């Protein structure tokens, strides 16, 4: 159990952020897996998708129960999300690790600035 304590702590933090903000798991879980678990960049991005999926299902269920879920909005945005997911997942193996880090970091910075401003 002690061997997997870092894994579990990363999961708890990411799950909390996902439940609180409705997102954020990827922006925390990817760098955490890379830095604290020594996971390869591409593997951490790909693995994060599965982690986020399960966290999002749990969080969504709670949001639905509390009446915060907008089904029409979800359906419309999901159409684009599925298309983008197909393109992104297929592009992952073509993007060099260095550029993957730069792109991911830029997205995090732009998102942070937009949220503050």
Q: Are residues 19 and 68 in contact, defined by beta-carbon separation less than 8 angstroms? A: no
Question: Is 110 a residue whose pLDDT tops 90?
Answer: yes
Phi, psi for residue 92 in degrees, rounded to 5? -55, -45
Q: Are residues 69 and 78 in contact, defined by beta-carbon separation less than 8 angstroms? A: no
What integer best gives the mean pLDDT of the chain? Answer: 90
Is the model more confident about 117 or about 76? Answer: 76
Q: What CA–CA distance (Å, rounded) separates 70 from 59?
A: 14
What's the number of domains the chain is made of?
1
pLDDT tens-digit series, residues 30-86: 899 999 999 998 899 899 999 988 888 888 899 899 999 999 999 999 999 999 999
Rg (CA), the chain: 15
Task: Label residue 28 by pLDDT band (50, 70, 90).
Answer: confident
Q: What CA–CA distance (Å, rounded) separates 73 from 91?
A: 27
Question: Is 24 a residue whose pLDDT tops 70?
Answer: no
- Range of the structural domain that residue 99 is part of: 2-116
Q: What is the pLDDT of residue 64?
A: 93
């Amino acid at each position: 159990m002690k061997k997997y304590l870092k894994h579990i702590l990363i999961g708890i933090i990411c799950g909390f952020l996902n439940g609180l903000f409705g997102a954020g798991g990827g922006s925390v879980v990817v760098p955490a897996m890379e830095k604290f678990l020594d996971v390869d960049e591409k593997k951490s991005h790909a693995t994060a998708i599965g982690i986020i999926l399960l966290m999002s299902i749990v969080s969504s269920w709670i949001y639905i129960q509390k009446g915060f879920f907008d089904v029409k909005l979800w359906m419309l945005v999901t159409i684009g999300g599925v298309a983008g997911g197909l393109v992104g997942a297929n592009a992952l193996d073509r993007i060099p690790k260095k550029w993957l880090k730069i792109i991911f970091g830029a997205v995090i910075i732009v998102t942070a600035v937009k949220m503050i401003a």
